[in-house]
C-alpha cells in the first residue's frame, strides 16, 4: 500500500510538471498561474501545493528535469574523456545541441527559458536561481578549460575567463537563434563544425591570451 501511495504521488507530481511545461510554453511564464496548471493537469490547486510551494518551485522542478541530466553529463566525463577535458567539453556541447532537436522536453523547456521567461524583478526567486545556475555553469566550464590548459590541449597563456565567455556566448547564441527560428538552419548539422570552430578560436586567437605584464 505504501509503495502504491508513493508511486501515485510521484505520478501526480510528474503530471503537474508535464502540465506546467505545456502551460508555460503556450502562455509564457508571467501570464501563467497555478490555477492554469491545475486545470491542465486535472488536479486541484491543493494537490499542487502538496508537492510545490509556489509557481517558482514548480518552474524550478520543471527545469531540473532537463538541467540535471545536462549538468551530470557536463561534470562526469565518460571513460574515454577522463584524460581529455577538451574532448569531453566538445562531445558534451555537440550532444546537448543535437538533443534539443531530438528531445521534445529539452526543446520545450529551453524554449520557455530563452523565449517565454518574462522576468522583470531581479529579486524574483526564479531569476535568482537562474543567475546562480548561469554562474555555476560558467565556473564548471572554466574548470574544464583550465584542465585542458594543464594537459597542453590549449595554450598555457589562454585567458580561461575570456575563453569561457567566448564559448558560452557562441553556444547560447546558436541555441537562441535556432529556438527563435528552427527552420532557418539545421542545428544538428551545424553543431559539430561550429563547436569545432569555437574551440579552434580558443587555440589560435591572440585576443584570448593573457596580457603580459
pLDDT digits (tens, 9 = 90+) for 101-133: 999 999 999 999 888 887 666 777 777 877 888
Domain span including residue 121: 62-208
pLDDT at 4: 59
Residue 170 to residue 195: CA distance in whole angstroms: 8
CA neighbor of 89 nearest in space, from 156, 151, 175, 147: 147
- Coil, strand or helix: which one is 200? helix
- The answer to whether residue 173 is domain-embedded is yes
pLDDT for residue 6 is more than 60: yes
On average, the pLDDT of the chain sits at 89
CA quadruple 109, 112, 114, 120: dihedral positive or negative? negative
Q: In the structure grid, which three cell numbers stand for residue 126, read together?
A: 526564479
Q: Is the predicted pLDDT of residue 2 greater than 60, yes or no?
A: no
pLDDT at 191 > cutoff 80: yes
pLDDT at residue 1 greater than cutoff 50: no
* Predicted confidence band of residue 167 (pLDDT cuts 50, 70, 90): very high
pLDDT above 90 as % of the chain: 66
Instruction: Dig out the grid coordinates for 75 from the structure.
Output: 561534470
pLDDT tens figures, 27-83: 998 899 999 999 999 999 999 999 999 998 999 899 888 887 677 777 777 777 878
On whether both 14 and 34 belong to a single domain, the answer is yes
In a domain, 213, yes or no: no
Cα–Cα dist 51/62, whole Å: 12
**pTM here?**
0.82
Helix-helix angle 125-150:55-75, to 10 degrees: 10
**Residue found by looking up cell 527545469 in the block:** 63
CATH number at residue 107: 1.10.357.10
The yes-or-no verdict on residue 26 having pLDDT over 90 is yes
Report the number of distinct structural domains present in the chain: 2
- What pLDDT was estimated at residue 121? 67
Q: 48: domain CATH number? A: 1.10.10.60
Is residue 57 domain-resident? no
13-24 pLDDT, tens digit each: 999 999 999 999
Amino acid at each position: 500500500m505504501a509503495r502504491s501511495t508513493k508511486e501515485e504521488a510521484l505520478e501526480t507530481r510528474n503530471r503537474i510538471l508535464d502540465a506546467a511545461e505545456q502551460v508555460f510554453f503556450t502562455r509564457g511564464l508571467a501570464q501563467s498561474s497555478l490555477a492554469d496548471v491545475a486545470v491542465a493537469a486535472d488536479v486541484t490547486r491543493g494537490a499542487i501545493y502538496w508537492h510545490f510551494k509556489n509557481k517558482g518551485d514548480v518552474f524550478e522542478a520543471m527545469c531540473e528535469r532537463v538541467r540535471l541530466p545536462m549538468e551530470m553529463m557536463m561534470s562526469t566525463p565518460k571513460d574515454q574523456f577522463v584524460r581529455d577535458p577538451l574532448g569531453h567539453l566538445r562531445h558534451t556541447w555537440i550532444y546537448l545541441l543535437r538533443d534539443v532537436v531530438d528531445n521534445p522536453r529539452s526543446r520545450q523547456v529551453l524554449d520557455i527559458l530563452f523565449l517565454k521567461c518574462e522576468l522583470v524583478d531581479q529579486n524574483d526567486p526564479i531569476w535568482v536561481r537562474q543567475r546562480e545556475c548561469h554562474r555555476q555553469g560558467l565556473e564548471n566550464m572554466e574548470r574544464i578549460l583550465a584542465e585542458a590548459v594543464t594537459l597542453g590541449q590549449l595554450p598555457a597563456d589562454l585567458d580561461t575567463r575570456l575563453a569561457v565567455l567566448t564559448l558560452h556566448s557562441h553556444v547560447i547564441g546558436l541555441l537562441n537563434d535556432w529556438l527563435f527560428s528552427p527552420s532557418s538552419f539545421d542545428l544538428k548539422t551545424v553543431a559539430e563544425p561550429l563547436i569545432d570552430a569555437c574551440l579552434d578560436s580558443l587555440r589560435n586567437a591572440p585576443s584570448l591570451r593573457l596580457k603580459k605584464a
